Amino acid sequence: MSRHRFTAALVAASAVAATAAPVAASTPPARGELLSARHLRTMTAAQARAWLASDGFDARSVRYGVDTYRLVYRTVDTRGRATTASGLLVLPRNGDHRLRTVSYTHGTMSYKPDAPSTSKDVWGQGSAVTYGAAGFATVAPDYLGLGEGPGVHPWKDVPSETTASVDMLRAARHFVPRKGRSLDRRVLVTGFSQGASSALGLARALQGGADPWFRLGAVAPISGGYDFRGAELPALLAGKLDPKLSVAYTSYLLTSWNRIHGGLYRTPGEVFRKPYAGRVEKYFDGTTPGQVMLKGLPGSLDKLLTRRGFALLRHPSGTFAAALRTDASVCGWTPRVPVRLYKIDKDEQAVTLNTDHCAADLRGRGVRVPVIDVGDTRYGGSRHLGSNVAGTAQVVRWFSGLGRS
High-pLDDT (> 90) share of the chain, %: 92
> What pLDDT shows up at residue 300?
97
- Please determine, for residue 2, whether its predicted confidence score (pLDDT) is greater than 70: no
Q: Report the percent of the chain where pLDDT is more than 70.
A: 92
What is residue 14's predicted lDDT score, i.e. its pLDDT? Answer: 31
Domain annotation for the chain: domains and CATH numbers: 3-227+341-401 (3.40.50.1820), 229-325 (1.10.260.160)
pLDDT tens per residue across span 225-271:
999 999 999 999 999 999 999 999 999 999 999 999 999 999 999 99
* 3-class SS letters over the chain: CCHHHHHHHCCCCCCCCCCCCCCCCCCCCCCCCEEEEEEEEEECHHHHHHHHHCCCCCCCCCCCCEEEEEEEEEEECCCCCEEEEEEEEEEECCCCCEEEEEEEECCCCCCHHHCCCCCCCHHHHHHHHHHHHCCCEEEEECCCCCCCCCCCCCCCCHHHHHHHHHHHHHHHHHHHHHHCCEEEEEEEEEEECHHHHHHHHHHHHHHCCCCCCCEEEEEEEECCCCCHHHHHHHHHHCCCCCHHHHHHHHHHHHHHHHHHHCCCCCCHHHCECCCHHHCHHHHCCCCCCHHHHHHHCCCCHHHHECHHHHHHHHCCCHHHHHHHHHHHHHHCCCCCCCECEEECCCCCCCCCHHHHHHHHHHHCCCCCCCEEECCCCCECCEHHHHHHHHHHHHHHHHHHHCCCC
Q: Per-residue confidence at 70, pLDDT binned at 50, 70, 90? A: very high
> What distance in Å separates the CA atoms of residue 370 and residue 384, rounded to the nearest whole number?
19
> Does pLDDT of 22 surpass 50?
no
- pTM summary value: 0.93
Does residue 399 surpass a pLDDT of 90? yes
Averaged pLDDT, 204-212: 97
How much is the pLDDT for 27? 53
pLDDT confidence of residue 181? 97
In the predicted structure, residue 23 carries a pLDDT above the cut 90: no
pLDDT classification of 67: cutoffs 50, 70, 90 = very high
C-alpha to C-alpha distance for 78 and 82, rounded to whole angstroms: 10
Q: What is the mean pLDDT of residues 106-113?
A: 98
Lowest mean pLDDT among 18-27, 159-168, 179-188, 210-219: 18-27
Q: What is the pLDDT of residue 17?
A: 31
pLDDT of 3 higher than 70: no
Contact between residue 49 and residue 59 where contact means Cβ atoms under 8 Å apart: yes
CB 173 within 8 A of CB 135: no
List the end-to-end C-alpha distance of the chain, in Å, as a whole number.
Answer: 36
Is pLDDT above 70 for 11? no
| pLDDT reported for residue 403 | 73
| Statement: residue 25 has pLDDT above 90 | no
Closest-CA residue to 386 (of 320, 356, 342)? 342
Give me the mean pLDDT over the 41-66 stretch: 98
Work out the pLDDT band at 404, boundaries 50, 70, 90.
Answer: low
Task: Report whether pLDDT(21) > 70.
Answer: no
pLDDT, mean of residues 370-376: 97
